[in-house]
Protein backbone atom coordinates (compact mmCIF):
# COMPACT_ATOMS: atom_id res chain seq x y z
CA UNK A 1 0.00 0.00 0.00
CA UNK A 2 2.82 2.42 0.89
CA UNK A 3 4.44 1.66 -2.44
CA UNK A 4 1.22 2.49 -4.30
CA UNK A 5 0.88 5.78 -2.43
CA UNK A 6 4.49 6.60 -3.20
CA UNK A 7 3.98 5.89 -6.90
CA UNK A 8 0.86 8.08 -6.98
CA UNK A 9 2.71 10.93 -5.28
CA UNK A 10 5.59 10.63 -7.73
CA UNK A 11 3.15 10.73 -10.66
CA UNK A 12 1.45 13.83 -9.23
CA UNK A 13 4.79 15.57 -8.75
CA UNK A 14 5.79 14.67 -12.29
CA UNK A 15 2.54 16.08 -13.66
CA UNK A 16 3.01 19.31 -11.70
CA UNK A 17 6.58 19.66 -12.96
CA UNK A 18 5.60 18.95 -16.58
CA UNK A 19 2.67 21.35 -16.30
CA UNK A 20 4.90 24.02 -14.81
CA UNK A 21 7.46 23.61 -17.58
CA UNK A 22 4.73 23.75 -20.21
CA UNK A 23 3.26 26.92 -18.70
CA UNK A 24 6.71 28.45 -18.51
CA UNK A 25 7.31 27.77 -22.19
CA UNK A 26 3.88 29.18 -23.06
CA UNK A 27 4.26 32.49 -21.21
CA UNK A 28 7.89 33.00 -22.25
CA UNK A 29 6.78 33.25 -25.88
CA UNK A 30 5.20 36.71 -25.95
CA UNK A 31 5.07 39.68 -28.33
CA UNK A 32 7.75 42.27 -27.65
CA UNK A 33 7.78 45.97 -28.40
CA UNK A 34 9.55 47.16 -31.54
CA UNK A 35 12.08 49.97 -31.51
CA UNK A 36 9.33 52.42 -32.50
CA UNK A 37 7.52 51.70 -29.23
CA UNK A 38 10.71 51.77 -27.19
CA UNK A 39 11.69 55.16 -28.65
CA UNK A 40 8.28 56.59 -27.68
CA UNK A 41 8.58 55.41 -24.09
CA UNK A 42 10.55 58.41 -22.87
CA UNK A 43 9.28 61.70 -21.50
CA UNK A 44 8.97 64.75 -23.74
CA UNK A 45 8.17 68.44 -23.29
CA UNK A 46 4.45 67.61 -23.24
CA UNK A 47 4.35 64.08 -21.75
CA UNK A 48 5.86 62.58 -18.61
CA UNK A 49 6.31 58.80 -18.76
CA UNK A 50 6.61 57.00 -15.42
CA UNK A 51 7.54 53.30 -15.55
CA UNK A 52 7.03 51.39 -12.28
CA UNK A 53 6.74 47.73 -11.32
CA UNK A 54 2.93 47.86 -11.52
CA UNK A 55 2.16 50.06 -14.51
CA UNK A 56 3.33 52.62 -17.06
CA UNK A 57 1.88 56.12 -16.77
CA UNK A 58 1.63 58.58 -19.66
CA UNK A 59 0.99 61.87 -17.90
CA UNK A 60 0.21 65.20 -19.59
CA UNK A 61 2.50 68.05 -18.61
CA UNK A 62 -0.48 70.39 -18.74
CA UNK A 63 -4.05 69.92 -17.53
CA UNK A 64 -5.34 66.37 -17.11
CA UNK A 65 -8.80 66.19 -18.67
CA UNK A 66 -9.49 62.55 -17.82
CA UNK A 67 -7.79 59.26 -17.03
CA UNK A 68 -7.71 55.90 -18.81
CA UNK A 69 -6.85 52.57 -17.16
CA UNK A 70 -5.73 50.15 -19.84
CA UNK A 71 -5.40 46.34 -19.84
CA UNK A 72 -2.86 45.10 -22.45
CA UNK A 73 -3.54 42.24 -24.83
CA UNK A 74 -2.66 38.67 -23.93
CA UNK A 75 1.05 37.83 -24.09
CA UNK A 76 1.86 41.34 -25.28
CA UNK A 77 4.38 43.65 -23.62
CA UNK A 78 2.64 46.68 -22.08
CA UNK A 79 5.21 48.96 -23.72
CA UNK A 80 3.89 48.27 -27.25
CA UNK A 81 1.20 50.95 -26.92
CA UNK A 82 3.57 53.82 -26.12
CA UNK A 83 3.02 55.78 -29.32
CA UNK A 84 -0.77 55.72 -28.96
CA UNK A 85 -0.81 56.70 -25.31
CA UNK A 86 1.84 59.38 -25.67
CA UNK A 87 -0.41 61.01 -28.27
CA UNK A 88 -3.41 60.75 -25.94
CA UNK A 89 -1.38 62.33 -23.14
CA UNK A 90 -0.46 65.23 -25.42
CA UNK A 91 -4.19 65.96 -25.63
CA UNK A 92 -4.80 65.70 -21.88
CA UNK A 93 -5.64 62.02 -21.26
CA UNK A 94 -3.51 60.41 -18.56
CA UNK A 95 -3.23 56.72 -19.46
CA UNK A 96 -2.13 54.08 -17.00
CA UNK A 97 -1.18 50.79 -18.66
CA UNK A 98 -1.22 47.90 -16.23
CA UNK A 99 1.63 45.40 -16.12
CA UNK A 100 0.28 41.86 -15.95
CA UNK A 101 1.91 38.79 -14.41
CA UNK A 102 3.11 36.63 -17.33
CA UNK A 103 1.64 39.35 -19.63
CA UNK A 104 -1.84 37.91 -19.04
CA UNK A 105 -4.64 40.13 -17.70
CA UNK A 106 -6.41 37.15 -16.15
CA UNK A 107 -3.83 37.27 -13.34
CA UNK A 108 -4.53 40.91 -12.44
CA UNK A 109 -8.21 41.52 -13.12
CA UNK A 110 -8.51 43.98 -10.21
CA UNK A 111 -5.44 45.97 -11.24
CA UNK A 112 -7.52 49.07 -11.97
CA UNK A 113 -8.41 49.40 -8.29
CA UNK A 114 -4.88 50.37 -7.30
CA UNK A 115 -4.68 52.94 -10.08
CA UNK A 116 -7.87 54.69 -8.98
CA UNK A 117 -6.61 54.77 -5.39
CA UNK A 118 -3.19 56.16 -6.34
CA UNK A 119 -4.57 58.82 -8.69
CA UNK A 120 -7.64 59.94 -6.76
CA UNK A 121 -7.09 63.53 -7.92
CA UNK A 122 -8.52 62.51 -11.32
CA UNK A 123 -12.31 62.65 -11.19
CA UNK A 124 -13.18 61.33 -14.66
CA UNK A 125 -12.00 57.85 -15.65
CA UNK A 126 -12.34 55.52 -18.61
CA UNK A 127 -11.49 51.82 -18.74
CA UNK A 128 -10.15 50.01 -21.78
CA UNK A 129 -8.32 47.00 -23.09
CA UNK A 130 -6.81 45.46 -26.19
CA UNK A 131 -7.83 41.95 -27.22
CA UNK A 132 -7.87 39.68 -24.12
CA UNK A 133 -7.17 42.76 -22.03
CA UNK A 134 -10.59 44.07 -22.99
CA UNK A 135 -12.21 40.75 -22.16
CA UNK A 136 -10.78 40.62 -18.65
CA UNK A 137 -11.22 44.32 -17.92
CA UNK A 138 -14.94 43.64 -18.35
CA UNK A 139 -14.75 41.45 -15.25
CA UNK A 140 -13.62 44.48 -13.28
CA UNK A 141 -16.04 46.85 -14.99
CA UNK A 142 -19.19 44.85 -14.25
CA UNK A 143 -18.74 45.32 -10.49
CA UNK A 144 -17.24 48.82 -10.57
CA UNK A 145 -18.97 50.62 -13.42
CA UNK A 146 -19.80 53.60 -11.18
CA UNK A 147 -16.10 54.53 -11.24
CA UNK A 148 -15.97 54.99 -15.00
CA UNK A 149 -17.48 57.30 -17.58
CA UNK A 150 -16.89 54.89 -20.44
CA UNK A 151 -15.39 51.63 -21.68
CA UNK A 152 -13.14 51.17 -24.72
CA UNK A 153 -12.68 47.83 -26.48
CA UNK A 154 -9.74 47.80 -28.89
CA UNK A 155 -9.92 44.69 -31.10
CA UNK A 156 -12.00 43.20 -28.32
CA UNK A 157 -15.48 42.74 -26.87
CA UNK A 158 -17.11 42.13 -23.46
CA UNK A 159 -17.04 38.75 -21.77
CA UNK A 160 -20.13 39.57 -19.70
CA UNK A 161 -23.43 41.34 -20.26
CA UNK A 162 -22.89 45.07 -19.71
CA UNK A 163 -26.01 46.21 -21.56
CA UNK A 164 -27.64 47.33 -18.31
CA UNK A 165 -24.75 49.52 -17.19
CA UNK A 166 -25.07 53.31 -17.33
CA UNK A 167 -21.82 53.78 -19.21
CA UNK A 168 -20.60 54.81 -22.66
CA UNK A 169 -19.03 52.03 -24.73
CA UNK A 170 -16.96 52.00 -27.91
CA UNK A 171 -15.33 49.19 -29.88
CA UNK A 172 -12.57 49.95 -32.35
CA UNK A 173 -11.59 47.17 -34.74
CA UNK A 174 -9.52 46.65 -37.87
CA UNK A 175 -11.35 45.18 -40.86
CA UNK A 176 -8.40 42.86 -41.59
CA UNK A 177 -8.08 41.59 -38.00
CA UNK A 178 -8.00 37.79 -38.18
CA UNK A 179 -7.07 37.26 -34.53
CA UNK A 180 -10.37 38.43 -33.07
CA UNK A 181 -13.16 35.86 -32.95
CA UNK A 182 -15.67 37.46 -35.33
CA UNK A 183 -18.49 35.18 -34.27
CA UNK A 184 -17.85 36.02 -30.63
CA UNK A 185 -17.59 39.72 -31.46
CA UNK A 186 -20.89 39.77 -33.32
CA UNK A 187 -22.62 37.77 -30.58
CA UNK A 188 -21.27 40.17 -27.94
CA UNK A 189 -23.18 43.07 -29.49
CA UNK A 190 -26.25 41.85 -27.62
CA UNK A 191 -24.27 42.35 -24.39
CA UNK A 192 -23.56 45.99 -25.20
CA UNK A 193 -25.62 49.07 -24.35
CA UNK A 194 -27.95 50.07 -27.20
CA UNK A 195 -26.00 53.29 -27.81
CA UNK A 196 -22.61 51.55 -28.04
CA UNK A 197 -20.35 52.92 -30.79
CA UNK A 198 -18.81 50.52 -33.33
CA UNK A 199 -15.90 51.87 -35.33
CA UNK A 200 -14.11 49.86 -38.03
CA UNK A 201 -10.70 50.89 -39.34
CA UNK A 202 -10.61 49.97 -43.02
CA UNK A 203 -7.41 48.06 -43.75
CA UNK A 204 -6.37 47.88 -40.09
CA UNK A 205 -5.44 44.68 -38.29
CA UNK A 206 -5.08 43.34 -34.73
CA UNK A 207 -1.36 43.99 -34.31
CA UNK A 208 -1.20 47.66 -35.23
CA UNK A 209 -3.07 48.79 -32.13
CA UNK A 210 0.47 48.72 -30.79
CA UNK A 211 3.98 48.34 -32.17
CA UNK A 212 5.15 44.72 -32.23
CA UNK A 213 5.81 42.12 -34.91
CA UNK A 214 2.81 40.66 -36.71
CA UNK A 215 0.85 38.61 -34.17
CA UNK A 216 0.37 34.92 -34.87
CA UNK A 217 -2.86 34.40 -36.81
CA UNK A 218 -3.15 38.04 -37.87
CA UNK A 219 -3.26 39.42 -41.43
CA UNK A 220 -0.99 42.12 -42.83
CA UNK A 221 -2.69 45.50 -42.72
CA UNK A 222 -3.10 47.54 -45.90
CA UNK A 223 -2.56 50.79 -44.01
CA UNK A 224 0.50 51.75 -41.99
CA UNK A 225 0.70 51.49 -38.21
CA UNK A 226 0.95 55.29 -38.12
CA UNK A 227 -2.33 55.63 -40.03
CA UNK A 228 -4.12 53.06 -37.92
CA UNK A 229 -2.90 54.51 -34.64
CA UNK A 230 -3.83 58.07 -35.70
CA UNK A 231 -7.39 56.88 -36.35
CA UNK A 232 -7.42 55.13 -32.95
CA UNK A 233 -6.23 58.27 -31.18
CA UNK A 234 -8.69 60.50 -33.03
CA UNK A 235 -11.62 58.20 -32.24
CA UNK A 236 -10.70 57.96 -28.54
CA UNK A 237 -10.41 61.74 -28.29
CA UNK A 238 -13.81 62.07 -29.94
CA UNK A 239 -15.32 59.41 -27.66
CA UNK A 240 -14.00 61.09 -24.51
CA UNK A 241 -15.02 64.53 -25.81
CA UNK A 242 -11.43 65.69 -25.38
CA UNK A 243 -11.13 66.48 -29.11
Of 109, 113, 119, 127, the C-alpha closest to 50 is 119
- Rounded to an integer, what distance in angstroms lies between the CA atom of residue 220 and that of residue 184? 22
Instruction: Say if residue 194's pLDDT is above 90.
Output: yes
Instruction: Say if residue 242's pLDDT is above 70.
Output: yes
Instruction: Say if residue 18's pLDDT is above 50.
Output: no
pLDDT, residue 31, reads: 84
Instruction: Say if residue 240's pLDDT is above 60.
Output: yes
- Rounded to an integer, what distance in angstroms lies between the CA atom of residue 192 and that of residue 187? 10
Backbone angles phi, psi at 4, to 5 degrees: -65, -45
- What average pLDDT score do residues 7-20 get? 44
122-162 per-position pLDDT tens digit: 999 999 999 999 999 999 999 999 999 999 999 999 989 99
Higher pLDDT, 181 or 12: 181
Locate the DSSP E strands across the chain: 47-51, 55-60, 66-71, 93-98, 125-130, 150-154, 168-174, 197-201
pLDDT, residue 80, reads: 97
Strand order in the sheet with 197-201: 47-51, 55-60, 93-98, 66-71, 125-130, 150-154, 168-174, 197-201
41-69 per-position pLDDT tens digit: 999 999 999 999 999 999 999 899 999 99
pLDDT, residue 103, reads: 87
Of 188, 187, 194, the C-alpha closest to 169 is 194
pLDDT, residue 121, reads: 94
211 close to 82: Cβ distance less than 8 angstroms: yes
74 close to 103: Cβ distance less than 8 angstroms: yes
pLDDT, residue 20, reads: 44
**Buried b / exposed e along 90-101 (16+ C-beta atoms within 10 A):** bbbbbbbbbbbe
Instruction: Say if residue 19's pLDDT is above 60.
Output: no
- Rounded to an integer, what distance in angstroms lies between the CA atom of residue 109 and that of residue 133? 9
Per-residue pLDDT band at 74 (split at 50, 70, 90)? very high
196 close to 235: Cβ distance less than 8 angstroms: no
pTM over 0.75: yes
What average pLDDT is seen over the chain?
89
- What average pLDDT score do residues 78-100 get? 97
Decide: residue 72, CB within 10 A, 0-12 exposed, 13-18 middle, 19+ buried: buried
Instruction: Say if residue 199's pLDDT is above 60.
Output: yes
Amino acid sequence: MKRVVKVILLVLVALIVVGGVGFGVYVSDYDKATQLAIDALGSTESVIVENSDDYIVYKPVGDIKCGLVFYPGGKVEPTVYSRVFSKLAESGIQTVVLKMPFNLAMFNINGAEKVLENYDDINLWYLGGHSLGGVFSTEYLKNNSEDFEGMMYLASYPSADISHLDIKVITINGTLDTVINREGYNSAKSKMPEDAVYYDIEGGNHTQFGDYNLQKGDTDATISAEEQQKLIVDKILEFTSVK
